[in-house]
C-alpha cells in the first residue's frame, strides 16, 4: 500500500517524502477526516508538519488516486482512503449522523445519467436529509 505511494509518485516524477507517507497513513488510520484532523493525527504521531503541506499533499494523493474526498458538512471536506470500498454517504442534517451505503443504492441513478454520457462520481456523493430518529423527535415539535 505504501508501495503504491512510492510507485505512483515515481510514475509522476514526484518524490517520496516522510510527510507524504505520514499523511497517507493518517488518512488510512482515521477513516474519514478533515485536513485539520489529518494534521493533528500526523503531529501526534511524529514530527511537526505544516498545514500547507497537508493541503498540498492531500491534493497530490487525490490526483494519484490514493485518497478521495467528499463534503459531509458545509465546513471542511472529508478525506478517506481509496482502499475502502466505494460507498455513498447519507448525512442527517439534524443530528449530523453519517450512514454509509453500498454503491448499488444509487445504481439506477448512475445508469440513468450514464445514458446521457454522464459518469457519476459515486464516492463523492453525499445525500442530505433527515434520519428516522430525528424525524420521530420532530413529530411533537412546532414547525
Residues in contact with DNA by the rule CB under 7 A = 6, 9-10, 13-20, 34-36, 47-53, 55-57, 59-60, 75-77
Is residue 47 involved in binding its own copies (CB under 8 A)? no
Q: List the one residue from 93, 95, 100, 137 that touches its own copies (CB under 8 A).
A: 93
Look at the alpha carbons of 33, 85, 122, 106 in this order and tell me if their dihedral is positive or negative: negative
Q: Kindly state the smallest distance separating residue 27's Cβ from its own copies, in Å.
A: 18
Task: Please tell me the count of residues contacting its own copies according to CB under 8 A.
Answer: 31
Bridge partner list, 89? 100, 126
The Cα diameter of the chain in Å comes to: 61
Q: Kindly state the smallest distance separating residue 63's Cβ from its own copies, in Å.
A: 10
Beta strands 67-70 and 78-81, pairing class: antiparallel
Q: Kindly state the smallest distance separating residue 102's Cβ from DNA, in Å.
A: 27
Is residue 108 involved in binding its own copies (CB under 8 A)? yes
Neighbours of 98 (CB within 10 A): 16
Can you give 53-71 as a three-state secondary structure string?
A: HHHHHHHHHHHCCCEEEEC
Question: Residue 90 in contact with residue 134, Cβ under 8 Å?
Answer: no
Q: Kindly state the smallest distance separating residue 9's Cβ from DNA, in Å.
A: 6
Subset of 53-92 contacting its own copies (CB under 8 A)? 71, 74, 77, 90, 92
The nearer residue to its own copies, 31 or 129, going by C-beta atoms, is 129
Amino acid at each position: 500500500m505504501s508501495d503504491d505511494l512510492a510507485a505512483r509518485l515515481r510514475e509522476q516524477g514526484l518524490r517520496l517524502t516522510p510527510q507524504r507517507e505520514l499523511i497517507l497513513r493518517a488518512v488510512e488510520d482515521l477513516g474519514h477526516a478533515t485536513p485539520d484532523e489529518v494534521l493533528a493525527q500526523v503531529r501526534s504521531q511524529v514530527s511537526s508538519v505544516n498545514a500547507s503541506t497537508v493541503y498540498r499533499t492531500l491534493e497530490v494523493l487525490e490526483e494519484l488516486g490514493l485518497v478521495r474526498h467528499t463534503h459531509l458538512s458545509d465546513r471542511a471536506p472529508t478525506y478517506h482512503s481509496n482502499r475502502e470500498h466505494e460507498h455513498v454517504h447519507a448525512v442527517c442534517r439534524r443530528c449530523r449522523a453519517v450512514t454509509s451505503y453500498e454503491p448499488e443504492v444509487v445504481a439506477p441513478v448512475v445508469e440513468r445519467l450514464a445514458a446521457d454520457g454522464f459518469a457519476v462520481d459515486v464516492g463523492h456523493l453525499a445525500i442530505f436529509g433527515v434520519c428516522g430518529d430525528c424525524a420521530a423527535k420532530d413529530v411533537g415539535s412546532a414547525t
